[in-house]
Amino acid sequence: MKGRVFVIGLGLIGGSLALCVKGQHRDCKVIGFDVYEEQGKLAKMLGVVDEVADSIEDSAKDADLILIATPVQETERILALLANIPLKENVIISDTGSTKAAIVSKAQTLIRKGVAFIGGHPMAGSHKSGVAAARELLFENAFYLLTPPAGVAEEKVNLLKEWLKGTKAKFITISPEEHDYLTGVISHFPHVIAASLVHQAEKTSHEQELVTRLAAGGFRDITRIASSSPAMWRDILLHNKAVLLQLLNEWQQEMAEVASMIKDEDSEKIYHFFSDAKQFRDELPQKEKGAIPSFYDLFVEVPDYPGVISEVTGYLAKEEISITNIQIRETREDIIGVLVISFQTEADRNRAIKCLDHYTNFETSTGP
Q: What is the pLDDT of residue 286?
A: 64
> What are 341's strand-pairing partners?
298, 326
Based on C-alpha coordinates, what's the Rg of the chain? 23
Q: What is the pLDDT of residue 44?
A: 95
**Cβ–Cβ contacts within 10 Å for residue 188, how many?**
23
Q: What is the pLDDT of residue 334?
A: 45
Q: What is the pLDDT of residue 339?
A: 80
CA distance 63 to 68: 12
> What are 298's strand-pairing partners?
341
In terms of DSSP H, where are the helices of the chain? 12-24, 37-45, 56-60, 72-82, 101-106, 108-112, 154-163, 176-183, 189-205, 210-214, 218-222, 230-239, 241-264, 267-282, 308-318, 346-359
CA distance 292 to 226: 12
How long is the chain? 368
CA distance 364 to 368: 10
Q: CA neighbours within 13 Å on the CB side: how many for 243? A: 25
Full set of structural domains in the chain with CATH: 3-174 (3.40.50.720), 179-282 (1.10.3660.10), 296-365 (3.30.70.260)
pTM above 0.85, yes or no: no
Q: What is the pLDDT of residue 365?
A: 80
Please work out, in degrees rounded to the nearest 5, the angle formed at the alpha carbon of residue 131 by the alpha carbons of 20 and 169.
30
- Provide φ and ψ at 326, rounded to 5°: -145, 135
CA distance 153 to 160: 11
- pLDDT tens for the chain, 368 residues long, are 889 999 999 999 999 999 999 999 999 999 999 999 999 999 999 999 999 999 999 899 999 999 999 999 999 999 999 999 999 999 999 999 999 999 999 999 999 999 999 999 998 876 567 898 889 988 988 899 999 998 889 999 999 999 999 999 999 999 999 999 999 998 999 999 999 999 999 998 888 888 887 777 678 778 888 888 888 899 999 999 999 999 999 999 999 999 999 999 999 999 999 999 999 988 877 666 665 666 678 888 877 778 888 888 888 888 888 887 787 765 444 445 678 888 777 788 888 998 988 888 888 887 65
Find out whether 190 and 292 touch, Cβ atoms under 8 Å: yes
292 vs 90, 127, 209, 232, 246, CA distance in Å?
34, 12, 31, 14, 21
> Shortest CA distance to 193 belongs to which of 279, 246, 242, 251?
251
The DSSP annotation for 309-336 comes to HHHHHHHHHHTT---SEEEE----TTS-
Q: What is the pLDDT of residue 337?
A: 64
List, in order, residues 6 or more apart from 168 with CB less than 8 Å away: 20, 137, 139, 140, 141
